[in-house]
Amino acid sequence: MKFLHTSITVRHMDESLKFYTEVLGLQFERRRTIPENKAEIAFVQDPQSGARIELTHWDGKESFEAGEQLDHLAFEVDDLDRFLLHVRSRGVPVAKEPYRLSGGSSRIAFILDPNEVWIELIERAKPAA
């Protein structure tokens, strides 16, 4: 398993991107809308460590409560089905079964940690042989 990124919920995407790139010096990677989730995401990366943050803006979300900003942690797994069997055998709740986003090739699922923090599991598409 490989740690990929941390996702935080932001109130204003443009302001947040400006903060993370101009104030903290992270590098902008990409930005896109995810219509089926009613969200927009953007990735920024620390050029020294390679650590990434996914900024997530949820359409229509007007209020925020303390602690709500952490959206999820993301890990890459080689075999999503095998990993889900492993976590299920340990009693870990699966919050979202495997699926693909429109226009994407990776398979994604979500599990919950003991504090109900969402953990995204991403199985990258295998290159065609």
Domains of the chain and any CATH numbers: 2-123 (3.10.180.10)
Candidate from 6-15, 29-38, 59-68 with smallest mean pLDDT: 59-68
Closest Cα to residue 7, out of 87, 122, 97, 92?
A: 122
120 catalytic? Reply is: yes
Residue 129 has pLDDT above 70, yes or no: no
Question: Burial code of 93-110, b = ≥16 C-beta within 10 A, e = fewer?
Answer: eeeeeeeeeeeeeebbbb
Say what the pLDDT of residue 103 is. 82
Segment 21-37 shows an average pLDDT of 92
d(CA 6, CA 72): 6
Say what the pLDDT of residue 58 is. 93
Say what the pLDDT of residue 18 is. 94
Say what the pLDDT of residue 65 is. 76
pLDDT digits (tens, 9 = 90+) for 52-98: 999 999 998 888 776 778 888 899 999 999 999 999 999 999 999 99
Neighbours of 120 (CB within 10 A): 20
Enter the pTM of the model.
0.76
Longest Cα pair distance anywhere in the chain, in angstroms? 48
d(CA 53, CA 95): 22
Catalytic residue, chosen from 36, 97, 120, 123, is 120
